[in-house]
Structure 1
Amino acid sequence: MATFLYKLGRFAFRRRNVVALVWVALLALAGVGAASASTPTSSSFSIPGTEAQKAFDLLEERFPGASADGATARVVFKAPAGEKMTDAGHKAEVGKIVDELSDGSDQVGSVTDPYTVNAVSKDGSTAYVQVSYKVTSMELTDETRTALEETGAGARAQGLTVEVGGDALQATPEMGSTEIIGVAVAAVVLVITFGSLVAAGLPLVTALIGVGVGVSTITALASVLDLGSTTSILAMMIGLAVGIDYALFIVSRYRAELAEGREREEAAGRAVGTAGSAVVFAGLTVVIALAGLAVVNIPMLTKMGLAAAGTVVIAVLIALTLIPATLGFAGKRVHGRKDRKAMDAKAAGGEETGKPNMGTRWARFVLRRPVAVLVTAVLGLGVIAIPATSLELGLGDDGSQPTSTTQRKAYDL
C-alpha cells in the first residue's frame, strides 16, 4: 500500500490543477443537489424489539390515529399570592386558553381541562393544562409551536403566572455558532503549532471542503433515504475532526521531508506514502466503528452511522489527494519564515543555529523522566475523573433546561 500511496501522492502533486478542479466540481455538484432537493420530512424513530416500541405499535394498531407517541405540552398556571386557581375569574381565563389551544391548530389531538381531570394542586395555587398533539415534536409546524408559546398572554394580564413546558417546544438541532467556534479554535492552535498561516490553513480548508461535500450529499439524499436533521450534524462534527487530523498527518510529514532536503514532489510522495498509511488505517477504524451502530438495530442510528462513515471516507480521500495537490500550490510557504531561513542556511552548507523547539525539548524531558511523567499523568487523569463518581445517567427533561427558560419554570411549578 505504501508504494501505491507514494505514487498517488506524487501524481496529485504533479497534477494538482486537475485534482483541485475535480474536488471543487464535486463540491459544486453536491451543493447543487442539496439546494435542489426537496425538504425532507422528519425521520421516523423506532427501536424494534423493545417493549416500548411494541406498546406504541399495538396502540397504533388498536387505536388508529391516537398518536400515542405524539408531542405533549403542559401550560402551567400559578395564581397571585392570596388567590387560588379555583376562583371564578381564573377559571374563566383557563377555560379561554383551553378553547384557544383546542381550536388553534389541526395538529392538536386533545386538550385537558384541569378542573375536570383533577390537575389542580391541593392548595389551589397551581393548575396545568395538558396538550397532546397528533404528530411528534419534530413534525410540529412553526405556527403550531408559536401558538403554544404565545398562550396565556391574556391570563398574564390578569396577574396569573403562565409557563409552558413539554417536548412540543423541543427545537430541532441546527448547525451554526458552535461549529464556527470550533473551527476558530482549531485555526489558532494550528497557527501556533506550525508557525505558518499557509500550513495552518491547509488542514482547515481541505477539511471544510470534505465536510461540504459530505454534508451536501447527505442533504441531497435526506428526503430519499429518510435522514433526520441530526444526521448531518453528526457527519459535520466527525468530518471536521478527522479531516483536520488526517491533513495534519500529511502536512507534518511533508514539512519534515522538506527539512531533510528532499525535492517538493518527492517530499509529497513520501509524505502520502508514509503518513498516508496511518490515515487509511485510522479512517478504516472510524468507519468500522460508525458502521457498528447498525448492531443496536435502531434504524435512525444506523443511518446516522453510515452517513457519518461516508463523510470519513471523503476525509481520507481528501487527505490522500487534495492535500498533496494544495501542498504543490503552497510551495515553500508551508514553512514559517524562521524555518525557511534555517533550511536555506542548511542547504548553503551552514550549520544549524538556535535552540531546539518546544516540542523537541518536551520530548527529551519525557525520555529523561519517563516514570515521573507516567505517574503524574495517571494521577492527573484520576483527579480529572473524580466527578464521574457522582455522575447520574438518564434522559434529559425540562428539569435540565436553564432556569431562565419557560420550560424549566413550568417544570419547577
Structure 2
Amino acid sequence: MATLLYRLGRTAFRRRRLVALLWAVVLVAVGVGAAKAPATGDSGTTFMPGIEAQKAFDLIGQRFPGADADGATARIVFIAPGGEKVTAADHRAAIDTLVSEAAGEPQVDSAVSPFKAHAVSKDASTAYATVTYKVKADDVSDASKDALEGAVSQARDSGLTVEVGGTALATQPAAGGSAEVIGIALAAVVLLVTFGSLAAAGLPLLTAVIGVGISMCAILALGSTFGLDLTTGTLASMLGLAVGIDYALFVISRYREERARGRDPQEAAGRAVGTAGSAVVFAGLTVVIALAGLSVIGVPMLTKMGLCAAGAVVTAVLIALTLVPALLGMWPNAVLARRTRKAGGARKAGRTRKAARGREAGEVGRARGTATGGATAQDQAGDRDNGGARWARFVQRRPLAVLLVGVACLGALALPATHLDMGMPGDEAKPTSTTERRAYDALAHGFGAGFNGPLTVVVDAKGAHDPRSAVQDVTATIERTAGVVSVSPARFNAAGDTALFSAVPATGPSDQATKDIVRTIRAERPALAADTGATYEVTGTTAMNIDVAGALQDALVPYLGVIVLLSLALLLLVFRSLLVPLKAALGFLLSVLASLGTVVAVFQWGWGARLLGVEQTGPIMSLMPIFLVGIVFGLAMDYEVFLVARMREAYVHGERPAQAVVSGFRHSARVVTAAAVIMIAVFSGFVGSDESMIKTIGFGLAVAVLLDAFVVRMALVPAVLALLGAKAWWLPRWLDRALPRIDVEGTGLTAKSGASGASGDPGASGPAAEAGESGALPQEPART
C-alpha cells in the first residue's frame, strides 16, 4: 500500500494542474446539482421499525385512512394576567377573534376555540386553541405564518400572554455556520503556531473547506432522493471539517520532515503520501467502518447521519492523498517554516541524489547503532529532543504511576455513565427564549405536567364479539391505572372495529414515572385480551420516545462490543502485535465511557450546564451515545495509528523498544497534539448550536478527543509500552504468517530505496527495483 500511495503522491505532484482541475470540476458539478435539486422530500414516518409505538402508528395509518398525522399544527396558549381569567369577556373576545382569523387561512384545515373544545384550565387562568393545517410543517407558506403571527400579536395587545407551540411556527435551529467559522479560526491559530508558516497553516484549512463544500453540496443534491435534512448535513460538516484538517496536517507535516532530510520536493511529496498517507487511509477506514456500522442499529435517521458523515470522511481522505500533494507541487517551498527557508531549505531540497543516498546510509547506520545501544546517526546529525521526546522519557521513568493516575481519573469521569438515561427531549429542552418552551411551561402549569405528553392508545377490536363494549372495557381499565389522570372518549374508524383514545399521565413526558405508566398499561394487555377479545397498543410521541430510547440503550452495549472487536482486528493487521491492539481497545473503552460520563454529568445532572447554555437538563438524546461511540472509535484509532505507527517504524528499523517510543513521540507528538486541539476546537464550536442534539454531540466529541488524545494516547500508551518492553510487539509465528501484511509505516519504501541503486528512487526501473516490487519487507532485527 505504501508503494502504491507513494506513486500516487508523486503523480499528483507532477500532474498538479490536472489534479486541481479535476477537483474543481467535482466541486462545481456537485454545486450545480445542489442548486438545481428539488426541495427535500418526505423521509417517511417510520423512525424505528419493530418497536410497539411504531407498529401502533402504522396500524392507525391502515385503519384510519385519510387521517393526516403529518399535518402541521399550532397550539396557541393563552395566559390571563395575574388574578384574571381567560373567560372574562374582553379576553374571550380576543381569543375568538384570533381563532376566527386563523380558521380563514387557505392552508388551515381547522381551528377550534378553547371554549368549544373544553380546553380551559380548572382555574380559568390558561386556555389553548389547536390550529391544524392541511400541509406539513415544511410546506406552510410564509403568508400563512405571517397571518398567524399577526393574529397572535393582536391578541397580545389585548393584555393576554400568548405563546405558540407545535410544528407550524417552530423555531428552526441555526444552520451551524458560525460554529464552522469559530472552529476554522481556532484551527488556523493552532496550525500557525505548529508550523510557523501561513501557507502551511492555510493549506489544511483550504483543502478541508473544499472537502466539506463537496460533501455538503452532495448531501443537498441527494436530499430529495434520500430524505437528508439539516441535522444530517451539520454532523457531516462537523466531522468532515475536523478530519479534513487533520489528514492534510499529517501529510504536510511528513512532507516538511522529508524536505528537512534533503529530499527534492517531488520525492518528499511521494514519501509523505506513501507513509503518512498510508496511516490516513487506515485511519479514515476505521472512521468510515464505525460510521457505516451505525446502519445496523435499525434507525433510518441514524443510518443517514452515519453514511453522510462517512462520505465526508472518504472525501477528506481522497483530498489528502491527491489534492494536498498537488497543491504542494504548486508551492513546494511555501509550507516550509520561515527559518528553514531563510537557512536555505529550498537549496537543501535540491541536493543531488548522491546526498540522498548518503542520507539513506545514515539511516541504516542509525538503526544499527540503536540496535547495539550506541548513539544514532540521527542524534549525531543534531536532531535534538523536543517536547514530545522529553515527555515520553518522563513517562518511561515512572510508567506505573502515570498508568494508575490516568486510569483512576478516567474511571472517575466514567462513573456517571452508569446512570445514563436516554430519551428524546422535546420543547422542554429548548431555551426559555423560545415561544415553544414558554407554551410548554404554561400548559404544564395550567393542565398538569402530563398534558404535554399524552399517550395514544389504538384498540384493535376485530376479534371481539362486541367491539364497542370491548373498547369501553379497555378504556375503563386504563383510566383506573395508577398515574393516569384522564382518558378521552374513544373515536372509532369507519368499519367500527378499531378505536383511538388518549390517556394523559400525571407526570411529564421525560419522567421515569411516565415510563412506568406505559409499562403498566402494556402489562394489563394480556388479561384484557383474554376477557374482551380485543387488544391494544400504545403510541404517540411520548411512547415513541420511550420505545426508541429503550431499544437504543439495549443496542449500545452490543454495538460497543462490536466496535471493540473491530478495533482489535484492524490494529492486529496494522501493528502485527497482540498486546498493542488490546491496549488500544481498552484505552478506547476508557475514553468513550469517560466522555459519556461527562455528558451525563452536564446534560442530565446539570453540573456546569449554565456555562454551556443548557437551560433544561434531562435524558440524553437517544441517538447521541451510539453516534458518539462510532465517531470516538474512529478518532481514537486515528491517534493510535499516527502515534504508534512511528514507534513501530523505529522499532522495525532497529531501535530498542524504549527508544522507539521516544522516537515516535519525537516525530509525532507535536502534530498529534495539534490535530487533537483542532478537533477539540471544531467540535467545541458546535456547543453553541441551538439544536439540542448537535450541542450534546459537539460537547461529547470535544471531551472525548481531549481525553483520548492527551490522557490515553499521550500518557497511558507510553506508560503501557514502557512496562511491556519488547513483549508489546510480540506476535505468534503462525499468526504472523497467516495475517496479510499492511505496510502502514512505509517499511517497503525503505527497502525499495535501498535496492534502487544510484537512482535513489523507489520507483526506479531495473533489476533491483524489480526485486523490490515483490513486496517483501525487511526482517526485524534479532533481539536478545
Question: 3-state DSSP class of the match of 1:214?
Answer: helix
**Following the alignment from structure 1 to structure 2, what is the Cα–Cα distance between the partners of residues 67 and 253?**
59
Matches within 5 A, 1:176-195: 176-195=177-196
Match of 1:113 in 2: 113
Cα displacement string for residues 294-313 of structure 1 (whole angstroms, at most 9, x for unaligned residues):
22334444334333322222
Match of 1:129 in 2: 129
Match of 2:428 in 1: 399
Structure 2 unaligned blocks of 5 or more: 356-379, 443-784
Equivalent residue letter for 2:285: L
Question: 3-state DSSP class of the match of 1:273?
Answer: helix
Match of 1:94 in 2: 95
Kindly tell me: are residues 122 and 397 of structure 1, through their superposed partners in 2, closer, same or farther at Cα, counting changes over 3 Å?
Answer: same
Matches within 5 A, 1:250-269: 250-269=251-270
Query: In terms of mean alpha carbon deviation, does 306-315 or 188-197 score higher?
Result: 306-315
Structure 1 unaligned blocks of 5 or more: none
Question: Over aligned residues, Cα RMSD in angstroms?
Answer: 2.8
Cα displacement string for residues 56-98 of structure 1 (whole angstroms, at most 9, x for unaligned residues):
3222233233212433332111112232111122112111112
Q: Does 1:362 align with 2:386?
A: no
Cα displacement string for residues 184-209 of structure 1 (whole angstroms, at most 9, x for unaligned residues):
12212211222221111111111111
Instruction: Indicate conservation of the 8 Å contact 1:228/1:300, yes or no.
Output: no
Equivalent residue letter for 1:297: G
Q: Does 1:374 align with 2:374?
A: no
Question: 3-state DSSP class of the match of 2:422?
Answer: coil
Kindly tell me: are residues 343 and 373 of structure 1, through their superposed partners in 2, closer, same or farther at Cα, counting changes over 3 Å?
Answer: farther
Matches within 5 A, 1:98-247: 98-106=99-107, 108-173=108-173, 174-247=175-248
Instruction: Indicate conservation of the 8 Å contact 1:84/1:124, yes or no.
Output: yes
Query: In terms of mean alpha carbon deviation, does 369-378 or 60-69 score higher?
Result: 369-378
Match of 2:739 in 1: none
Instruction: Indicate conservation of the 8 Å contact 2:41/2:225, yes or no.
Output: no
**Following the alignment from structure 2 to structure 1, what is the Cα–Cα distance between the partners of residues 393 and 339?**
22
Cα displacement string for residues 15-48 of structure 1 (whole angstroms, at most 9, x for unaligned residues):
1111111111211222222222233334334233
Equivalent residue letter for 2:327: T
| Percent of aligned pairs with the same amino acid | 59
Match of 2:40 in 1: 40
Query: In terms of mean alpha carbon deviation, does 227-236 or 277-286 score higher?
Result: 227-236
Kindly tell me: are residues 109 and 56 of structure 1, through their superposed partners in 2, closer, same or farther at Cα, counting changes over 3 Å?
Answer: farther
**Following the alignment from structure 1 to structure 2, what is the Cα–Cα distance between the partners of residues 8 and 337?**
28
**Following the alignment from structure 1 to structure 2, what is the Cα–Cα distance between the partners of residues 205 and 51?**
48
Match of 1:66 in 2: 67
Question: 3-state DSSP class of the match of 1:334?
Answer: coil
Equivalent residue letter for 2:38: S
Instruction: Indicate conservation of the 8 Å contact 1:56/1:69, yes or no.
Output: no
Instruction: Indicate conservation of the 8 Å contact 1:26/1:213, yes or no.
Output: yes
Q: Tell which structure's C-alpha radius of gyration is larger.
A: 2
Kindly tell me: are residues 374 and 340 of structure 1, through their superposed partners in 2, closer, same or farther at Cα, counting changes over 3 Å?
Answer: farther
Equivalent residue letter for 2:96: G
Kindly tell me: are residues 30 and 216 of structure 1, through their superposed partners in 2, closer, same or farther at Cα, counting changes over 3 Å?
Answer: same
Deviation of 1:319 after TM superposition, in Å, equals 0.8
**Following the alignment from structure 1 to structure 2, what is the Cα–Cα distance between the partners of residues 225 and 184?**
33
Deviation of 1:287 after TM superposition, in Å, equals 1.9
Question: 3-state DSSP class of the match of 2:127?
Answer: strand
Kindly tell me: are residues 111 and 193 of structure 1, through their superposed partners in 2, closer, same or farther at Cα, counting changes over 3 Å?
Answer: same
Match of 1:326 in 2: 327
Instruction: Indicate conservation of the 8 Å contact 1:72/1:167, yes or no.
Output: yes
**Following the alignment from structure 2 to structure 1, what is the Cα–Cα distance between the partners of residues 199 and 260?**
17
**Following the alignment from structure 1 to structure 2, what is the Cα–Cα distance between the partners of residues 42 and 329?**
46
Match of 1:79 in 2: 80
Question: 3-state DSSP class of the match of 1:169?
Answer: coil
**Following the alignment from structure 2 to structure 1, what is the Cα–Cα distance between the partners of residues 230 and 296?**
22
Kindly tell me: are residues 13 and 180 of structure 1, through their superposed partners in 2, closer, same or farther at Cα, counting changes over 3 Å?
Answer: same
Deviation of 1:9 after TM superposition, in Å, equals 0.8
**Following the alignment from structure 2 to structure 1, what is the Cα–Cα distance between the partners of residues 24 and 157?**
57
Deviation of 1:323 after TM superposition, in Å, equals 0.9
Question: 3-state DSSP class of the match of 1:332?
Answer: coil
**Following the alignment from structure 1 to structure 2, what is the Cα–Cα distance between the partners of residues 367 and 263?**
37
**Following the alignment from structure 1 to structure 2, what is the Cα–Cα distance between the partners of residues 267 and 346?**
14
Instruction: Indicate conservation of the 8 Å contact 1:102/1:111, yes or no.
Output: yes
**Following the alignment from structure 1 to structure 2, what is the Cα–Cα distance between the partners of residues 192 and 402?**
37
Kindly tell me: are residues 251 and 43 of structure 1, through their superposed partners in 2, closer, same or farther at Cα, counting changes over 3 Å?
Answer: same
Deviation of 1:6 after TM superposition, in Å, equals 0.8
Instruction: Indicate conservation of the 8 Å contact 2:269/2:325, yes or no.
Output: yes
Question: TM-score, normalising length from structure 1?
Answer: 0.89
Deviation of 1:241 after TM superposition, in Å, equals 1.7
Kindly tell me: are residues 11 and 345 of structure 1, through their superposed partners in 2, closer, same or farther at Cα, counting changes over 3 Å?
Answer: closer
Match of 2:30 in 1: 30
Instruction: Indicate conservation of the 8 Å contact 1:254/1:267, yes or no.
Output: yes
Cα displacement string for residues 284-332 of structure 1 (whole angstroms, at most 9, x for unaligned residues):
2222222223223344443343333222222111111111111222322
**Following the alignment from structure 2 to structure 1, what is the Cα–Cα distance between the partners of residues 214 and 320?**
14
Which has the bigger relative contact order, CA under 8 A and spacing at least 6? 1
Question: 3-state DSSP class of the match of 1:243?
Answer: helix
Deviation of 1:392 after TM superposition, in Å, equals 4.5
Question: 3-state DSSP class of the match of 2:168?
Answer: helix
Match of 1:308 in 2: 309
**Following the alignment from structure 1 to structure 2, what is the Cα–Cα distance between the partners of residues 321 and 55?**
51
Deviation of 1:7 after TM superposition, in Å, equals 0.8
**Following the alignment from structure 1 to structure 2, what is the Cα–Cα distance between the partners of residues 235 and 85?**
48
**Following the alignment from structure 2 to structure 1, what is the Cα–Cα distance between the partners of residues 301 and 346?**
58
**Following the alignment from structure 1 to structure 2, what is the Cα–Cα distance between the partners of residues 332 and 367?**
37
**Following the alignment from structure 1 to structure 2, what is the Cα–Cα distance between the partners of residues 139 and 299?**
22
